[in-house]
Every structure is written in C-alpha cells, then in structure tokens.
Amino acid sequence: MQRGKIQNQISRIFAFLFSSLKEKFQSVRKKTIIFLVILARRAFVVANQTANTSTPTIETFTVKRRYLTEREVEQLMDTARKLSRHGHRDATMMLVAYRHVLRACEVCSLEWHQVELDQGRLHVRRAKRGTPSVHPIRGDEIRALRRLRRENPTEAYVFVSERGGPISPMGFHHLIAWLGKAAELPFAVHPHMLRHACGFKLANDGHDTRSLQHYLGHKNIQHTVRYTELSPDRFKEFWR
C-alpha cells in the first residue's frame, strides 16, 4: 500500500518534470526559430547591400546600360589601335565579335577554317546550343582578317595570344574592360555588350525579328524580341 503511494508520487514528479522540460524545450525551440529567422533576414539585407559592390554578372555588369552604340564600338576599336600592344588584332577581334554577334567564348575559339576570305563568308558556331549560321563578311573585315592572317600564317586560331594559343575569354574580358576605361566611357564595359550592340543595331535598322533570330543564333525567339521591344525607331511613324 505504502509502496503504491510512493510509486504514484514518483510518477507525478516525473510527469511534472517532463511537462516542465517540454514547455522549456518548446520555448527554447521557438526562440531558436525566431533567432534563425532574424539572422536570415539580416543576411538577406547584407547580401542585397553588398550585391552592388560584388563581382557583377553579365546581365548586371552595368546599371546605366547593357549595350554599346555603334559610335562607342568604333571608339573602343580606335582606342585599341592607339594604345593596345596588339592594336590591329584587338580591334579586329572587337569588329568580328560586334558584326557577327559573337560571345566571348565564340570569338576566342574562332578558327581559320571557319573563315572564307575569298568568298566573304564566316561559318559561325554558337555556344549554348545556339543555331549555327553562315554570315557574310564585309570588305573592311576581309582586309583586317587578311592582314591578321599574314601576321600569323600557321596558326589554327584567328586570334592568338603572345604564347601562340587562342586568347581566353577571361583575357578578352579584361581587354574590353581596360579599353573601356582607356576610352573614358562613362560606364563599365564587358564583351557581351558587343553582342547586345549588334542586336540593337540590327533591330533599329528595321530587320524583321525572325531573320534577326537566326542571325543571333537564338533557339527561342523570345530572346530576340527584347531587342525589338527597346528599339527607339519602332514608333517613329506614329503621329504623322
């Protein structure tokens, strides 16, 4: 009888301790969750504040503008001819990338077997599963490429470094960034702006979106529409 009372008291004590510990655990867990939420919010705020000073991506490299005008491309090429150690090579590289809407990896991997100087054709191979195409080469490009070929008659790649291999995309990136600063452009410059420059130039010239899509090598036409959406000349015939 006495033993049963003691066992009941012990059970009640354990039940009381268990419930107390459970309440404290839940309270601690709630406080922990609240602390983690506050910490995550602060981390999110800090990430947003440092996003502008961290290394930017291609799409957010410049806040002011994501493309170059035709005049600004010419300004970069003139700066390369005057200041760059390999002025002709660098200017020609920018010209080819601009005229044929080439990404940095595409222009760096360009080989001479893709270039038909006598027929004036360039066989473009696209990255990111883009559509390959054959582009016409204009006279000033042909002359610049012929001179480049005479300077490097045995090289497989069109644009080679001093070590004899192809220029790397990162090297091309640094070159364009340096030329942008040397040309005193009011914003940071990166190679993909040459591609955007050609897209907007052709859209402003009135080329239809489908032809522009194939020239740029886009699989999805939605990627091409953005050039025509921002074209300032699309409304020029309004209110006349």
Write out the catalytic residue numbers.
103, 128, 192, 195, 218, 227
Helix (H, G, I), strand (E, B) or coil at 69: coil
Residue (of 85, 131, 101) closest to 200 by Cα position: 101
Q: What per-residue string of b and e applies to 105-128 under the rule 16 or more CB within 10 Å gives b?
A: ebbbbbebeebeeeeeebebebee
| Tokens 């601690």 sit on residue | 28
As beta bridge partners, residue 28 has: none
Within 104-220, residue ranges assigned H as helices are 104-108, 139-151, 169-182, 192-204, 209-216
For residue 215, how far is the Cα from the chain centroid? 19
- What DSSP character marks residue 116? E
d(CA 125, CA 197): 19
For residue 186, how far is the Cα from the chain centroid? 19
Residue (of 78, 56, 62) closest to 186 by Cα position: 62
